[in-house]
């Protein structure tokens, strides 16, 4: 399943970090233009501003990444597990289903198992099969396309699952990691040249 890259840092945190970097850049410019400060005074002021901006943006990014991690865990639970407060019977049923699907060694075997579960209305087995197919589909050494075909078939019949699955893929995909790296460039203060130690 292919999804468009999306940063793991949420939009609000990104905007705050970008604003902090912009404000920092403005203060750096003002310090450099302040004729009332000696070179040593400017260097000291620049260092203080850089450390302050670095701490602010690191905290914003850290908070946002923790939030994204919590969201990823919640999505995994909603997609592949049971909700809090589920009955003991539901828990046992899902565990039994998980044991059964791990015995399917190919997408074809799992597909047959899921098809029988659909006919009999065994939602626990279907969900466990979906989780197994998703996990196997992420393995670059396996038959990813066939496993992902089972994932897509399951999700197509459940619109809410499809949206949640796309969000989860965005949070953990390499495209999301690339977007996050680009965002770090935008939301990370650059140390003033005056603070760089010459060789």
Please write the tens of the pLDDT for every residue from 92-108: 998 999 999 999 999 99
With CA atoms as reference, report the closest residue to 28 among 198, 196, 190, 199: 190
Rg of the chain in Å (alpha carbons)? 25
pLDDT digits (tens, 9 = 90+) for 145-198: 899 999 999 999 888 898 899 889 888 875 565 566 556 767 889 999 998 764
Q: What is the mean pLDDT of the chain?
A: 85
With CA atoms as reference, report the closest residue to 148 among 160, 166, 172, 175: 166
Say how far apart CA 51 and CA 18 lie, in whole Å.
16
pTM of the model: 0.67
The whole-number average pLDDT for the span 109-124 is 94
pLDDT above 70: residue 199: no
The C-alpha angle 143, 149, 152, rounded to 5 degrees, equals: 140
- Give the chain's length: 199
- Which pLDDT does position 3 carry in this prediction? 40
DSSP state of 191: P
Contacts of 77 (CB under 8 A, 6+ apart): 83
Confidence of residue 6 (pLDDT cuts 50, 70, 90): very low
The C-alpha angle 97, 101, 104, rounded to 5 degrees, equals: 155
Residue owning tokens 């995909």: 173
Backbone dihedral region for residue 85 (phi beyond 0: left; psi -120 to 50: alpha; all else: beta): left
pLDDT digits (tens, 9 = 90+) for 54-75: 999 989 888 888 888 888 899 9
> 107-120 vs 123-137: helix axis angle to the nearest 10?
160
Q: Dihedral angle at the C-alpha atoms of 152, 157, 161, 166, nearest 10 degrees?
A: 40
- Which pLDDT does position 185 carry in this prediction? 67
């Amino acid at each position: 399943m292919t999804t468009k890259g999306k940063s793991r840092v949420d939009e609000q945190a990104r905007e705050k970090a970008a604003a902090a970097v912009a404000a920092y850049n403005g203060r750096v410019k003002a310090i450099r233009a302040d004729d009332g400060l000696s070179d040593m005074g400017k260097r000291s002021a620049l260092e203080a501003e850089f450390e302050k901006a670095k701490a602010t943006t690191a905290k914003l990014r850290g908070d946002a990444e923790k939030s994204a991690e919590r969201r990823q865990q919640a999505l995994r639970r909603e997609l592949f597990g049971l909700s809090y407060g589920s009955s003991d019977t539901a828990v046992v049923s899902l565990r039994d289903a998980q044991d059964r699907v791990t015995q399917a060694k190919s997408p074809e075997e799992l597909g047959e198992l899921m098809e029988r579960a659909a006919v009999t209305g065994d939602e626990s087995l279907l969900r466990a099969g979906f989780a197994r197919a998703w996990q196997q589909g992420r393995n670059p050494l396996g038959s990813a396309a066939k496993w992902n075909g089972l994932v897509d078939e399951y999700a197509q019949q459940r619109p809410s699952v499809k949206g949640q699955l796309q969000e989860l893929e965005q949070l953990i995909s390499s495209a999301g990691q690339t977007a996050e790296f680009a965002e770090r460039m935008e939301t990370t203060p650059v140390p003033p040249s005056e603070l760089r130690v010459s060789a």
